[in-house]
Amino acid sequence: MKKTSTRLADGRELIYYDLRDDSVREAVDRRPLERTVTTSEVRRDDLLGDRVAIASHRQGRTYHPPADECPLCPSAGERLSEVPDSSYDVVVFENRFPSLAGVSGRCEVVCFTSDHGASFADLGEQQARLVLDAWTDRTSELSHLASVEQVFCFENRGAEIGVTLQHPHGQIYAYPFTTPRTAAMLRQLSAHKQATGGRNLFDDVLERELAGERVVLEADHWVAFVPYAAHWPYEVHLYPRRRVPDLLGLDEAARSEFPKVYLELLRRFDRIFEEEDGGSGAGESPTPYISAWHQAPFGPRAASEGVSRDDFAVHLELFTIRRTSGKLKYLAGSESGMGVFINDVPPERAARRLREVASS
């Protein structure tokens, strides 16, 4: 992998990640952009202790542009985009409309490929590995920023999820605090450790799932399963067999195997509703999903809960909001109002379906 850092016309950082070591990136951003002005701030909810990002400048962000005006495609002639060069493998840049900025954190965009019509599932294993290397490198770099406590790499796919740009891409949020979901995991991790005389919660969960009927896919270094108390109709958690706290801790064997395993999961997600459509998928858009990496925070939060960073297990959570063909799982009163999920699809059935659509 070759990494080349440059600056866009408004001062934002852009980084090319290339498969070839002899790649040269000298293109200059020719757009007449003024420096980005953001209004991002983080406020604390006194009742819940949660943080809320207030970012009114995002109201003006690009919304569903036509393909020939996509800001994530390479620049071509006088059609100038966020990527100055005429081609790229993987590119990462600071979001022009960030939810978090400055002392409130940082937001980056990760373009998985220059092919506008592709999806992550269409990538080859070498390209998917390059994305993993980019996620890992950005996790390392962002973790050293004084304002950053947690790094979150994720992908939203599909208009149903709220995606406003169709080009295959994800994002990275560098939070100046530990997120509520991770804080809850740390509390559970600590309570389990105390209640079991020092056992690790993530290890015990993985051991239980491996012995059950919700395993979707097993490989030498990775295990994918539908969790016992899945929140979403189709939800898969992907764990490395060797517990490490973040992407930086993965060894070469796990990194090499990840692309094959992850691409297979994504392709199964695109097939799970085909049978309900008579096998054709007619009239059904690709399965919308959220794919989210959970990593240990880099700040003092873990220690304050009585555990260490090494007690945490990096893992990926992949889920769709589609519950059956043509129907979405909406967050209604119980979920949105009280945070209590009601799942219409038993996890055992979801796991069985995801095994049925395995590649032949």
Spans of all domains in the chain: 2-175, 189-242+249-289+313-356
Note the pLDDT of residue 279.
Answer: 52
pLDDT of residue 302: 85
Are the beta carbons of 195 and 201 closer than 8 angstroms? no
- Supply φ then ψ for residue 213, to 5 degrees: -105, 10
Catalytic residues: 169
Q: Which residue in the block uniquely carries the two structure tokens 């207030």?
A: 54
* Structure confidence at residue 104 (pLDDT): 85
Tell me what the mean pLDDT of segment 188-194 comes to: 97
Better-scored residue on pLDDT, 310 or 40: 310
User: 189-242+249-289+313-356: what CATH class?
Assistant: alpha beta
Q: Is residue 88 a contact partner of residue 4, using CB atoms and an 8 Å limit?
A: no
Least reliable range by pLDDT among 57-66, 92-101, 127-136, 297-306 = 57-66
Tell me how far apart the alpha carbons of residues 113 and 131 are, in angstroms, rounded to a whole number: 9
Which fold, 2-175? HIT family, subunit A (3.30.428)
60 falls in which pLDDT band (50, 70, 90)?
A: low
> Between the CA atoms of 343, 346, 349 and 355, what dihedral angle is there, to the nearest 10 degrees?
60
pLDDT value for 278: 56
Bridge partner list, 320: 234
* CA gap 186, 36 in Å, rounded: 36
**pLDDT, position 52:** 92
Q: Mean pLDDT of all residues in the chain? A: 93
189-242+249-289+313-356 and 2-175 share a CATH fold: yes
pLDDT at 63 exceeding the cut of 90: no
171 forms beta bridges with 109, 154
Distance of CA 147 to the CA centre of its chain: 21
